[in-house]
């Protein structure tokens, strides 16, 4: 199994399509039990708005409990949403789910990334999941002193990818949330809100709850360790590594995600929303 396949399955495990009463709006991902994040512009900056999340056969209902910036007084259709462009969603109803492993450090300069969002690329009527890989190309300071965006290149950020988790292929950690295309229809990539800022803005709802989750369920971290070892070459790439991480399967009977290691062994990995 290629590392891209493992990365994609990790993204499937933590991501969801986001709909409102007005229809599909973009993507969100789980960062703590019962807590998801998306881009503020995806939910129109409306605090309290009801949302519907879905991934394969799993569905969640929730509502927006915080938006940053909290009061975007400047509205300009031609400009990107003010930084950081984040919204916190509390899940009110739905099955258990795994949570993305958020990176605590900035990625290395030559890091390769993967994201997975819900787009209309296939056709304008259907919304389907789409992955894309990027390279980290730099950073971009914003008017918010706490928010320095990460710049991606060498990949296309497509409409619908706003709110999608961006995963470092070398570490298996989510480095942030995709929010903006640097130029639509091009290979110029996009802007990412760093994971560290998501933790900083909501230290209890995200930071503590996220850490507790990954202390309790170690499988994502173990998978990330495999990817790091693979990246550094300290383990043999190829069949031996591939056998360690066979598959990530979404949604068994209890709503858990099961990550199977090796041949014939498996472990459970998940968390409740309530």
Partner 1 sequence: MMLPSGDLIWVHVQAEQAVMSDGDSGPTDVGLGQRIAPIAETLGLPGFTQTVRGVVTSVRQALDDHRPDSLTVEFGIQIVVKAGAVLSVLAEAGGNVHVTVTASWDRRDAVVPPAGEEELDPK
User: Smallest gap, in angstroms, from Cβ of residue 274 to partner 1?
Assistant: 28
Q: How far is CA 51 from CA 3, 20, 35, 138, 199, in A?
A: 32, 5, 12, 33, 22
Nearer to partner 1, 89 or 219 (CB): 89
Question: In the complex, what is the shortest distance from the CB of residue 74 to partner 1, in angstroms, rounded to a whole number?
Answer: 5
For partner 1, which is the closer residue by CB, 23 or 233? 23
Sign of the CA dihedral running 26, 31, 37, 38: negative
**Spatial contact of 9 and 247, defined as CB atoms under 8 Å apart:** yes
Sheet with 257-261: list strands edge to edge.
Answer: 245-249, 257-261, 265-269
User: Judged by CB under 8 A, how many residues of this single chain contact partner 1?
Assistant: 50
DSSP, res 207: I
Q: Do 133 and 7 meet the contact criterion of CB atoms below 8 Å apart?
A: no
Contacts of 254 (CB under 8 A, 6+ apart): 96, 268, 270
Site string for partner 1, 159-188 (x = CB under 8 A): xxxxx--------------xxxxxxxxx--
Closest CA to 174 of 199, 155, 153: 199
Please identify which residue in 36, 113, 127, 177 interacts with partner 1, judged by CB under 8 A: 127
Rounded to whole angstroms, the Cα distance separating 204 from 182 reads 32
Residue 69 token pair: 């910036």
Minimum distance, C-beta of residue 69 to partner 1, in the bound complex (Å) = 9
Angle between helices 3-14 and 219-232 (to 10 degrees): 150
Residues 6+ apart with CB under 8 A from 96: 33, 254, 255, 256, 270, 271, 272, 273
Cβ closest to partner 1, residue 119 vs residue 223: 119
Which residue, 73 or 274, has its beta carbon nearer to partner 1?
73
Find the part of the chain contacting partner 1 (CB under 8 A) among 99-107, 154-162, 195-203, 233-241: 154-162
CB of 162 to partner 1, least distance (A): 4
85 binds partner 1 per the rule CB under 8 A? yes
Q: Which of 23, 28, 100 is nearest to 62 (CA)?
A: 28
Sole window of 1-9, 18-26, 51-59, 197-205 interacting with partner 1 (rule: CB under 8 A): 18-26
**CB closer to partner 1 out of 18 and 257:** 18
Select 166 or 248, whichever has its Cβ closest to partner 1. 166
Build a one-symbol-per-residue string for 104-123: x at contacts with partner 1 by CB under 8 A, - elsewhere: -------------xxxx---
| Cβ 131 to partner 1 shortest distance, Å | 15
User: Does residue number 39 form part of the binding site for partner 1 (CB under 8 A)?
Assistant: yes
Q: Which residues bind partner 1 (CB under 8 A)?
A: 20-26, 39-47, 71-78, 80-81, 85, 117-120, 127, 157-163, 178-186, 190-191
């Amino acid at each position: 199994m290629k590392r891209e396949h493992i990365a994609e399955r990790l993204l499937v495990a933590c991501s969801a399509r986001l709909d409102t009463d007005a229809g599909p709006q973009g993507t969100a991902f789980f960062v703590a039990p019962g807590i998801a994040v998306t881009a503020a512009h995806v939910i129109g900056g409306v605090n309290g708005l009801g949302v519907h999340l879905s991934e394969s056969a799993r569905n969640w209902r929730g509502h927006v409990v915080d938006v940053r910036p909290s009061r975007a007084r400047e509205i300009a259709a031609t400009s990107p949403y003010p930084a950081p462009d984040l919204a916190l969603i509390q899940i009110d109803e739905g099955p258990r789910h795994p949570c993305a492993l958020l990176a605590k450090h900035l990625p290395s300069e030559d890091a390769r990334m993967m994201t997975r969002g819900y787009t209309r690329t296939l056709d304008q009527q259907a919304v389907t999941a789409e992955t894309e890989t990027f390279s980290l190309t730099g950073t971009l300071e914003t008017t918010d002193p706490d928010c320095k965006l990460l710049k991606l290149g060498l990949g296309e950020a497509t409409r619908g990818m706003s709110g999608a988790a961006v995963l470092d292929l070398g570490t298996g950690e989510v480095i942030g949330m995709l929010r903006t295309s640097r130029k639509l229809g091009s290979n110029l990539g996009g802007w990412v809100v760093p994971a560290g800022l998501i933790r900083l803005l909501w230290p209890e709802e995200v930071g503590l709850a996220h850490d507790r989750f990954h202390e309790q369920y170690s499988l994502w971290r173990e998978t990330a360790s495999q990817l790091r070892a693979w990246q550094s070459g300290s383990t043999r790439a190829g069949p031996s590594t591939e056998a360690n991480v066979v598959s990530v399967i979404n949604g068994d009977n209890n709503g858990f995600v099961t990550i199977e290691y090796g041949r014939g062994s498996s472990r459970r990995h998940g968390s409740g929303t309530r």
